[in-house]
Structure 1
Amino acid sequence: MALDEAVLRGHSEAQILSVINAGLALGGARSTDVLVGPGDDTAWLRVRSGAALVTTDAMVLGRDWRDDWSAPDHVGRKCVAQNAADIEAMGGTTTALVVTLVADPATPLAWVRELAVGLGREAARAGAVIVGGDLSSAGPGVCVISATALGELPDGARPVLRCGARPGDVLAVSGPLGRAAAGLLLLQEDRAADGPELVGYQQSPHPAYGDGRRALEAGASAMLDVSDGLLLDAGRIAQASGVRIDVHTAALAPDIAALGAVGDRGTDCVLRGGEEHVLLATFAPGDEPTGWRVIGAVADGTGVAVDGRDTQGGGWEHFTVQQE
């Protein structure tokens, strides 16, 4: 099938799926736990631990990516990363994903193929495989990609929830903060050349897979991934656990300094920027894994503070943040 000029319209599902499956194969993901993969009514998987983690997330053209900012490979990688990060946030390992594509029939087949390549590449990086999904047509200009990820915990382990933080714990993060938000600002201002690494992280975040399991093994008391902003996500742990969390900006100085391309907005990117997908967790003091940084503390009380001062709001909310 010639792809350079072709669009989805006029092609059968079988033809489109052959393009998608070829793209996934280029991604390189393989698993002996997939007994039946794409091509039947459902996938058939071996679940070694006897229990599964399940999560789902969707991406919408114009809300979660723009085609003039992101290549289809970026979109596929980002779709997998944000789902796999949720599995990581429970202390698990992603094993498989199913993906649904809802698209305008005028969508180029070449775009769909490169989307599949990105899906396959990031799935392979996470140690997972794409095992199936669904296709549907949509109105002009519409494109929605939804993935459901399956994951497993180590034998006998229980997931790390949001509700276990205890007064006296420390708050720690597994990686840098603010990169995706700073990259978005640069894209919005047509200044991508001023911070290509920041823009690259906005286009396709790359979580450090395995951090969730290391946190579980270190005894994390609560954990989630930073998808909607540090303060908002810390607030979710605080609310679920019935505690107060104080974030220390001095510990965030390296993150802020790395965002020089956005000037004095770096602090806001670090505190409120989403789509980072690093992990935020609480531990008994000294128990945080190697490579994690302590950025705050857990105390009696409620809510989130920054350097001892109460804070309200901040972060991404789908239905309250002004969208253009």
Structure 2
Amino acid sequence: MDKESVVLGIDTSNYTTSLAMMDLHGKLVTDERRVLSVKEGMVGLRQSEALFQHIKGLPVICKTMAEGCTPFKIVAISSAVKPRPLENSYMPVFVAAESFGSTMSTLWNLPFYEFSHQEGHIMAGLWSLGLQLNKPFMALHISGGTTEVLSIIPKKIGFEIEIIGGTSDLSAGQFIDRIGVKLNLPFPAGAHMEKIIDINNVKDINIPVSVKDTFISFSGPETFVQRRLKDDFKASDIIYSTFQSVAKSLYLLIKNSLKKYDYKDILVAGGVASNKIIKNFLEEKLQSEGLNLYFGTSKYCSDNAVGIAALGVDGYLQQNKMKLG
């Protein structure tokens, strides 16, 4: 049996160990992920602990992936080696993806492509929608560790990214997770919080919003909620109001950013982008203003290696002057 040619993508983020294989036509062959273990009551991991879990977890999900696939031939490897596509961008967790990918590519004499975690999120969002944007667009990257609004210029491989704005303190995901953990929910808490809400029986307690120009502050809203947790509010109302506060903040962030960059296409990526309440709020507000708002498919908003694999396919095809199709 002929083996299928695939590109292996690797991502080792703050929350998840991820591997993905994609064929040269852009079809996903396999997508394996292992969420890092966080002790009850904690709101994250130290970089050293997360890196250790990645090193232990990569062989495990490699075995799972190999056992569950049809015969394949890896022709290239791509890794997320840093948080952002900036020269001095660095975070220890990504050393695992870089080391693992570089070592295997050297042993097997394969091309090795380096990308950033942020590029992976953007590419995963576009790939999940079957969307190809060839002109500059805006992206909102909202996750457990990042809240940034970006100017994106597509390149032959990857993206040229400029940070327009973001958060001056907590990320949207950190704000959500801190409230969720205070409500005795597992970390990361966002998906667990959504399940508690009865959308037909909630009220907004009007958490204040702090947005100045193109920067959000979530520390004030978090303090407000922490104090309200001592009052007699239902957990579902606290959760709903937290999501509403995040959504209102992101809406103002986008509106202020559009005063500087006249884009019509906006991609929303990252784990928080899968939140239905935030998504519905932004869609209702922005689409009525004539903007093209794209949310990546929920499964590919959270941390994954699919976008990194897709970027690797682009790199391999460009290097070999082949055409995707």
Smaller-chain TM-score bracket: under 0.3
Structure with the bigger percentage of helix: 2
Compute the TM-score of the two structures, normalised by the length of structure 1: 0.27
Compute the TM-score of the two structures, normalised by the length of structure 2: 0.27
